[in-house]
Structures are given as structure tokens and as C-alpha cells.
Structure 1
């Protein structure tokens, strides 16, 4: 599993984990949604389930469900601020297209 987390995204995720010491890690994956098919999910995970893989990226525990693994392989996770907005940004080598608003992506 090859996922890269930029230092600023790593810091942001660690900030969320520090506020929830009982969390098992950061859940990262995709869900079916949007006009293009898939959207990213980043949330705190309370547990690691049977259908999950736990990987450590630069000391940060990431929990990825088995159905997302192939879709997030090689992803670079960044965190950017633009004016009053702040969000995680994903650079996915598997994505072959995205919707106009950038909220969802497709794979071939």
C-alpha cells in the first residue's frame, strides 16, 4: 500500500486524533456518490473492523476498508487553505475523470 501524506495534511490529521484519544486512527477511503462515481472519506475511526486494513504513514495510523484499497493506491493527500476555506486535497493516479465541481471522481 503506497499512500503519501504531505506534512501539512499529517499535522491536520494528528490535530484531529489528539482531540479524540480513543480513536484507533484516521479512516481514509472512498464511497459511491456524486455525479462521477466516488468521493473521498476522511474521518476518525473508533475501531478497526474485519474488512479494514491498517497502515502507518509517517507515524499516522490510516484505516482503509478493503473495498477502497485499489482505488486509493498511490494517492497523495494534501491539506490546503484558500481564504476562509480549508480542505484535504487528493492527487489520485487512478482517477480518470472528475465531475465539474471536483467532489467526485471516476476510475477506468
Structure 2
């Protein structure tokens, strides 16, 4: 089973779509800092989903805690340069339906 941690407000309901696809979803609370990521199970997660660009700082922290975690950014706006190289996929919710994204995450 794929395990995903979501960081940010999930206004597009990607978490629900991931659950529908059989993905085990947890949420990193607040600003998704180290403690929140650890509490959400990032060390065992397959995927980190960022739903707010302002939480891009959680990407290098998550990669430090779990170097193999795949990073999917599903948010509007521009990802800062420092995090861009660590993100596997950067998707705009206006262009990609959450059910399509969930299918791809679950299949990978």
C-alpha cells in the first residue's frame, strides 16, 4: 500500500481522492515542520504531497528524514528554486483533476 503525507490545506480534496485509490493518507499539521512531518509518518511514507507553496521548506526536511520519499507539489503558484530540484512533480490544481493525480500517485 502506498503511504502519503499531505502538507498544507487540501482545498482540492486530493487526500480524499488518494484514499479512494487505496493510498494511506496522513496530514502533517501546521507548517509541516520536522516534528509535524515525523508525527505524520514521513519516515515510512512513499510520497509527500505539498498543497501550499508556502510550505516548500518542508521538502528538504522530509528528504532529510526519508531520502527516498517522492515529492508531489499540487498547488498554485511558483515553487522556490531551493525546493524545485527535490520535487518530482509540480502540478497546478487548475490544470490537473485530483482524481487523475491520485491515480498516478497510487500507480507509481
Q: TM-score, normalised by structure 2?
A: 0.26
**Normalised by the size of structure 1, how large is the TM-score?**
0.26
Larger Rg: 1
Query: Which structure has greater strand proportion?
Result: 1
